[in-house]
Structure 1
């Protein structure tokens, strides 16, 4: 019994000392790990299998509304105009043989329906004209629109001037030629337009013996044109 107590007393301090040493070593290892944030790693393990797909998460909360952007530049105002396509509008008046021998006044008239106020009228007379006299003379053929000559921009006219006849032969030159009087007139309102062809005198010259439409067809052609 005394031997057992002696051995127990000898071994017990040794055991206590070993445990204290192990505890101190673990404490130093823990302090080293905390200080340097490192730990010794063992060999990697086998790769695990993929897990099952997760379920949809809870919807997130709405974000903060964005700020207003910078004010843009003022745009241009564009007005679309839808107009009907232009349709031809013309008229012809013809006479087989006017054979009109007046020197002053209206020769013929043709009534035309003008569709638009912002359009122009093209007028044309074609027919035989003649002037004769024993001395110098001049005659003027011109158009009127509702009784007035064109002012947009100027009258539509043509003249024939004859210097002299043949007094030594007791006769005068008498030549009938097919001639034209043509032009454009603007500023005429829409509606009915009486287009007339007239004959008159030239300024500062005596009147002669005029003839219009002798022995041939005469025409007045009127056409409305876009500006």
Structure 2
């Protein structure tokens, strides 16, 4: 043994010690790995069930107003519009008049019986006229009389005259007398085309064309009336 050199003794010692060092190092490494796995396995938290939803919070206060935006640009010029004129008319107001007579007892056979002046407001309106009164015609032979309206002296032309007639064939030969019956009769109609302003509305009596005229009577022992009314077209 005394003949072994120091270098040889060092090598022998290294061969003996190095395996032990490596084994201890491996043992410590295994322990550290087991500790890490244990910590990872048992140190984590298990997630529990979800809680009930919370209540809504109170509304927040208004924020700071924003700054005004940049003004927009003018749009393109539009096309020229059409000129529409509106006509505003006054609402229609009733316009009528009545003229009445008590017991005219007018016995003429030809001519004007009565007249009633009326103020017509519009040119494009129509006139409704009515005569109501007692009429009579008598004769020994056939005869005919005609009662009609005129407007400012002319009969209605829009569209036709306003008239009423009475015709008798003959009297009563058995009693050697003529028929003498007074009846309340109406002469009525509408006339268009009469200008606005004052209008003289009159009721007349005349003949029936070529027929002989008889003995006419108007408004006997009763009230006679002329009613005039302006109507919109």
Match of 2:181 in 1: 175
User: Which structure's CA Rg is the greater one?
Assistant: 2
1:144 lines up with 2:150 in the alignment? yes
The aligned counterpart of 2:94 is 88
1:75/1:206 Cα in 2 relative to 1: closer, same or farther (>3 Å)? farther
Aligned length: 166
Aligned counterpart, 1:106: 112
Q: Which residue of 1 aligns with 2:219?
A: 213
Matching of residue 196 in structure 1 with residue 202 in structure 2: yes
Aligned-residue CA RMSD in angstroms? 2.5
SS at 2:187 equivalent? strand
Runs ≥4 residues deviating over 6 A: none
Instruction: Describe the superposition over 1:41-80 as per-residue Cα deviations: whole angstroms up to 9, x where unpaired.
Output: xxxxxxxxxxxxxxx9xx99x99x98x69x97x9765432
TM-score by length of 1: 0.67
Report SS of the residue matched to 1:168. Answer: helix
CA distance in 1, matches of 2:82, 2:206: 55
| Corresponding residue of 1:119 | 125
CA distance in 2, matches of 1:202, 1:75: 63
Q: Which runs of 5+ in 2 are unaligned?
A: 1-65
Larger deviation, residues 172-181 vs 76-85:
76-85
- TM-score w.r.t. the length of structure 2 is 0.65
> Which stretches in structure 1 are left out of the alignment for 5+ residues?
1-55
